[in-house]
């Protein structure tokens, strides 16, 4: 029995796709009888998966308020720490004393403070980078800290080749302890593609399944690409499944571009299977990514993907075979991608079958099982 800690630094939403890999690995380790400690950013309401972890697995969980931007809460927490200048991350690690710490990050550099705390407390650790972007390039000072921290990790996991290469380019080094890992859920159905949607009346029904956050997901680019004269004269429908802080901005943009009657805001969906019963393709115009979980979900359902050639999409989508790739996240490139898809709309079902075959092959390895196994191996190597 080992004591293993998981820390998430992802603070943009209470819960998201970037939490699936570490959470499912933690669940497996808990079921095997290992002791677990979880630390996540503070949110007023505890996300349902964390509630389950506390009640069903009996794990210890705490919030990490200093990651969150609520200064008043930080001041309150500091009152319960003896010395005001004590690093709260080191304080937590000293209390928990895990055999290994798994640091899950939204972007590759987000967990720097966690890495440094683990080094200072002599706690072995691994990192997971769920996403990254060009604009996150560090200064020389920060790069030196990152290089030292990444080098000290037992392993640095990346969910896409592109993000691994981008981090090495930004730091100007080769990470000898980097490992590629998938991030899809172990609960995905893989047996066969879903039946192709019927009764669509010749309308191409596309689903954009993503948080309503244009800086990363690029819905504004998609709206502009679909507002050109060619697309205004075609039969299509776009459904946005997701919630976020920019819904009203996107609604106004759809009205301004005169496509609001074609664009439907469906809110967050807890059942992706239902989406693919009525939609022909996933469209994801991301500006930057990791490997979105929805890619595997749509492909396993037998739906082709129209997306930008960023990060993990380049590992999964073969242009013209199981979907279509826009070479860059620009209006012009997305228009070209959609034009290709429209020309081949009579073959979309065939492309969907190819998408399922690609995803089903990749889904044979369960990322959470591998991560859990390798964490235990690192513990045994101490």
Interacting residues of 273 by C-beta distance below 8 A, sequence separation 6+: 189, 194, 301
Lowest mean pLDDT among 85-94, 123-132, 172-181: 85-94
pLDDT confidence of residue 72: 52
83-117 core/surface letters (b: 16 or more CB in 10 A; e: else): eeeebbbbbbbeebebbbbbbbbbbbbbbbbbbbb
pTM exceeds 0.75: yes
Lowest mean pLDDT among 74-83, 162-171, 233-242, 318-327: 74-83
Q: Are 299 and 325 in contact (CB under 8 A)?
A: no
Could you read off the pLDDT of 231-284 as tens digits, one per residue?
A: 999 999 999 999 999 999 999 999 999 999 999 999 988 888 899 999 999 999
Torsion angle, CA of 153/371/289/354, rounded to 10 degrees? Answer: 140
Lowest mean pLDDT among 219-228, 277-286, 309-318: 309-318
Other beta carbons within 10 Å of 245: 11
pLDDT confidence of residue 65: 57
C-alpha torsion sign, points 300, 306, 307, 313: positive
Region 178-183: mean pLDDT is: 96
pLDDT confidence of residue 200: 72
Q: Any idea which fold 204-362 has? A: Rossmann fold (3.40.50)
pLDDT confidence of residue 172: 98
**Token pair listed for 90:** 């080191």
Of 306, 209, 336, the residue nearest 265 (C-alpha): 209
Region 284-302: mean pLDDT is: 94
- Rounded Cα gap, residues 24 and 186, in angstroms: 8
Q: Which residues lie across from 281 on neighbouring strands?
A: 206
Region 16-27: mean pLDDT is: 94
**Token pair listed for 261:** 């009657």
**Token pair listed for 271:** 């059942």
Res. 82: pLDDT tops 50:
no
- Rounded Cα gap, residues 324 and 311, in angstroms: 15
Region 170-177: mean pLDDT is: 97
* DSSP β-ladder status, 204-209 and 178-180: unpaired
Q: Are 145 and 112 in contact (CB under 8 A)?
A: yes
Task: Indicate the pLDDT class of residue 2, thresholds 50, 70 and 90.
Answer: confident
**Token pair listed for 330:** 């620009």
- Rounded Cα gap, residues 141 and 348, in angstroms: 49
For the chain, percent of residues with pLDDT exceeding 90: 79
Helix (H, G, I), strand (E, B) or coil at 259: coil
Res. 216: pLDDT tops 60:
yes
For the chain, percent of residues with pLDDT exceeding 70: 94
Task: Indicate the pLDDT class of residue 81, thresholds 50, 70 and 90.
Answer: very low
Could you read off the pLDDT of 63-74 as tens digits, one per residue?
A: 875 444 444 555
What value, to the nearest 5°, has the Cα angle with vertex 352 and ends 346 and 356? 165
Interacting residues of 340 by C-beta distance below 8 A, sequence separation 6+: 319, 320, 324
Helix (H, G, I), strand (E, B) or coil at 107: strand
Query: Per-residue DSSP letters for 183-194?
Result: ---TT---SSPP
From the options 3.30.70.260, 3.40.50.2000, 3.40.50.720, 2.30.110.10, give the CATH code of 3-185+366-380.
Answer: 3.40.50.2000
Res. 85: pLDDT tops 80:
no
Give the relative orientation of helices 161-171 and 140-152 as an angle to the nearest 10 degrees: 130
pLDDT confidence of residue 279: 97
pLDDT confidence of residue 27: 95
Please count the residues of the chain.
382
Res. 204: pLDDT tops 60:
yes
Q: Give rounded-to-5 percent helix, strand, coil for the chain.
A: 45, 20, 40
Res. 44: pLDDT tops 80:
yes
The full set of domain ranges for the chain reads 3-185+366-380, 204-362
Average pLDDT, the chain: 92
Lowest mean pLDDT among 58-62, 221-225, 286-290: 58-62
Going from the C-alpha of 325 to that of each of 258, 295, 322, the distances in angstroms are 26, 13, 10
Query: Per-residue DSSP letters for 65-77?
Result: GGGSS-HHHHHHH
- Rounded Cα gap, residues 117 and 108, in angstroms: 16
The DSSP H or E segment spanning 305 is strand 305-308
Task: Indicate the pLDDT class of residue 125, thresholds 50, 70 and 90.
Answer: very high
Is it true that 3-185+366-380 and 204-362 share their CATH fold? Answer: yes
């Amino acid at each position: 029995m080992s004591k293993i800690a998981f820390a998430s630094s992802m603070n943009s939403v209470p819960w998201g796709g970037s939490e699936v890999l570490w959470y499912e690995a933690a669940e497996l380790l808990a079921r095997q009888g290992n002791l677990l400690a979880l630390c996540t950013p503070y949110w007023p309401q505890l996300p349902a998966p964390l509630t389950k972890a506390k009640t069903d697995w009996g794990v210890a969980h705490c919030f990490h308020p200093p990651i969150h931007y609520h200064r008043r809460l930080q001041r309150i927490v500091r009152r319960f720490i003896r010395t005001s200048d004590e690093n709260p991350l080191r304080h937590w690690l000293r209390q928990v004393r895990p055999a290994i710490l798994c640091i899950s990050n939204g972007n590759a550099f987000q967990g720097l403070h966690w890495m440094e705390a683990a080094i200072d407390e002599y706690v072995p650790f691994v990192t997971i980078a769920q996403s990254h972007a060009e604009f996150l390039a560090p200064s020389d000072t920060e790069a030196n800290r990152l290089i030292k921290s990444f080098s000290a990790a037992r392993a640095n996991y990346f969910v896409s080749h592109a993000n691994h290469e981008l981090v090495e380019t930004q730091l100007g080094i080769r990470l000898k302890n980097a490992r590629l890992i998938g991030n899809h859920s172990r609960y995905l159905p893989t047996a066969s593609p879903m039946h192709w949607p019927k009764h669509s009346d010749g309308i191409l029904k596309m689903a954009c399944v993503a948080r309503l956050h244009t800086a990363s997901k690029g819905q504004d680019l998609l709206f502009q690409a679909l507002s050109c004269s060619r697309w205004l004269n075609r039969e299509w429908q776009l459904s946005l499944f997701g919630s976020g802080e920019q819904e009203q901005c996107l609604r106004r943009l759809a009205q301004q571009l005169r496509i609001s009657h074609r664009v439907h805001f469906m809110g967050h969906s807890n059942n992706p299977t239902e989406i693919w019963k009525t939609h022909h393709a996933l469209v994801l115009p991301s500006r930057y990514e990791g490997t979105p979980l929805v890619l595997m979900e749509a492909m396993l359902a037998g739906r082709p993907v129209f997306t930008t050639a960023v990060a993990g999409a380049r590992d999964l989508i073969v242009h013209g075979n199981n979907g279509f790739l826009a070479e860059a996240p620009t209006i012009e490139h997305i228009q070209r991608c959609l034009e290709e898809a429209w020309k081949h709309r009579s073959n979309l079902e065939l492309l969907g079958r190819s998408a399922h075959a690609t995803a089903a092959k990749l889904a044979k390895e369960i990322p959470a099982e591998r991560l859990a196994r390798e964490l235990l191996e690192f513990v045994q190597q101490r």
